[in-house]
Structure 1
Amino acid sequence: MVDKLIFGRFIPGDSVIHRMDPRAKLAGSFYFIAIAFLANSWPSFLFLGAVAISGVLLSKIDLRFFLKGVRPLIWLIIFTVALQMLFTRGGTIYWSWGIFSLSQYGVQNGLFIFCRFMLIIFTSTLVTLTTPPLSMSDAIESLLNPLKKIHVPVHEIALMLSIALRFVPTLMDETEKIMNAQRARGVDFGAGSIIQKIKAIVPLLIPLFVSSFNRAEELATAMEARGYRGGEGRTKYRRLKWGRNDSILVVIFAIVTVGLLFLRKT
């Protein structure tokens, strides 16, 4: 599971995507996710899918590895799609039983939701794979910088987000180690009824929480030992620079928006 979950991991590289300003990548990913909800026809989803795949190819990340990283979230997507299919009525009714039904509009909306989920996962994961956690923190702080005028603790918010993002793979590694240790002691996480499976997770959660709190305390101690006292008056060793590729990305997204508006169903 740890090898499959790639969200939060950074893969070093020298691709066009890696060299872009993290602010452009972060803002571009949010914009792409937003316009994904404008797609309402198969041509528009195919168009956005082609754009997302192009980004993956430009990052020089193996697409098969990318698909394996998305796999742990498939069950959540399937559950959401199933709810949409069973509770949406319209068009030709293929099957009906009580409050549940399988209709033409339900199947179509369910598939559209599946496509939106995949676009969102591909885009957000692509950003984390090609952006170091520290650069991500700097980008978040830079984008939220105008909120300082209304006394929003921008630096602290960016720090919390970057730490949380950084420790996603670490927690997954810790989970795998605890699961292996529990299996060595005879725990079977996949056997029995649902109640028994839930009970089997308890020996996993308790040491995971204890380990997480210990790691948080060690991190706080290390930051204090290095003189960290908040973001007020701090200077930056790394300077974010907006380059030509970042400006090209803005133009590309403008073209994508026009193409999407042309392809979507009115």
Structure 2
Amino acid sequence: MILGRYLPGVSWVHRLDARTKFILSMLFIFVIFMANNIYGYLFATAFVALSIIMTGLGFKVFFNGLKPLAMLMLITTFLQLFFMNTGTVLVHWWIFTITTDGVINSVIVFVRFMLIIMFTTILTLTTPPLEVADAMESLMSPLRKIGVPVSELALMVSIALRFVPTLMDEAQSIMNAQRARGVAFNEGGLIQRAKSYVPLLIPLFVNAIKRAIELGDAMEARGYRDGEHRTKFRVLKYTKIDGVAFAAFFIFAIGLFATRFI
């Protein structure tokens, strides 16, 4: 799983300010909903593909990141089939009805979900977790005036992002060890498969607690104190390429809106 992993590089996307990538990632989640036809989604797909190419990391890395979320995406897409009753009826069984509009809506949700995941993954792949935390702290700094612990929230998000790949690696190691002992995770029915994952949870939970304790001890040893002002080795600073990135995204948003009238 690539969520939370930073892959070093020298692309212009890597050189963007972390705040720029964070803001554009959040804006993309809202802007993608402007697409309402195939032209809009093709345009959005082309924009995401171009963004991935500019990272210099390759498409394979990003598609690998979709695998852990494949089941969630498929379940979400499947449920969308039954949320719309308009259009031509394709299948009707008991209280369930699948229509052409339901199928179209499911495809739209799947594509939208995939594009959002792939575009926002650019943030974590091209930005060190510490810079992500610094970006969040900088963007949320006005909330300090109303007593919001901005630094602590940013640190929590940074640690959470960093722990995701760590826990996935731990889970994979435990699964490999249990497979060596004869556990079959992919055999049997749905209930049987779910039961086979139960022995995985306890050691994974124990390891997560151990890592959390070790991290807390390491932070204390380095002088971290809750509520204290933290200095930064690398100061965030906007440059010309950040302006180019915002301009490019603005053009994309206008183009995506224009596809609504095709």
Question: TM-score w.r.t. structure 2 length?
Answer: 0.95
For structure 2, the 5+ residue unaligned runs are: none
Answering whether residue 247 of structure 2 is matched by residue 251 of structure 1, we say yes
For structure 1, the 5+ residue unaligned runs are: none
Q: Secondary structure at the match of 1:94?
A: strand
Give the Å deviation of 1:139. 0.6
Instruction: Give the alignment of 1:1-266 within 5 angstroms.
Output: 5-264=1-260
Residues 1:62 and 1:86: Cα distance change in structure 2 (over 3 Å): same
Q: Secondary structure at the match of 2:247?
A: helix
Whether the aligned pair in 2 keeps the contact of 1:41 and 1:265 (CA below 8 Å) is no
Q: Equivalents in 2 of 1:128, 1:57: separation in Å?
A: 16
CA deviations 1:5-57 (Å, max 9, x no partner) are 21111110000100000000010010011111121111111111111111000
Q: Equivalents in 2 of 1:113, 1:194: separation in Å?
A: 25
Question: TM-score w.r.t. structure 1 length?
Answer: 0.94
Structure 1 residue identity aligned to 2:6: F
CA deviations 1:46-85 (Å, max 9, x no partner) are 1111111110000011112321221232222121111112
Structure 1 residue identity aligned to 2:217: T
Q: Secondary structure at the match of 1:95?
A: strand
Q: Equivalents in 1 of 2:192, 2:40: separation in Å?
A: 45
RMSD, aligned CA: 1.5
How many positions carry a matched residue from both structures?
262
Structure 2 residue identity aligned to 1:153: P
Q: Equivalents in 2 of 1:81, 1:184: separation in Å?
A: 35
Q: Equivalents in 2 of 1:261, 1:118: separation in Å?
A: 20
Q: What is the identity percentage for the equivalent residue pairs of Structure 1 and Structure 2?
A: 50
Whether the aligned pair in 2 keeps the contact of 1:189 and 1:197 (CA below 8 Å) is yes
Higher mean Cα deviation, 158-167 or 58-67? 58-67
Q: Equivalents in 1 of 2:81, 2:187: separation in Å?
A: 30
Higher mean Cα deviation, 20-29 or 92-101? 92-101
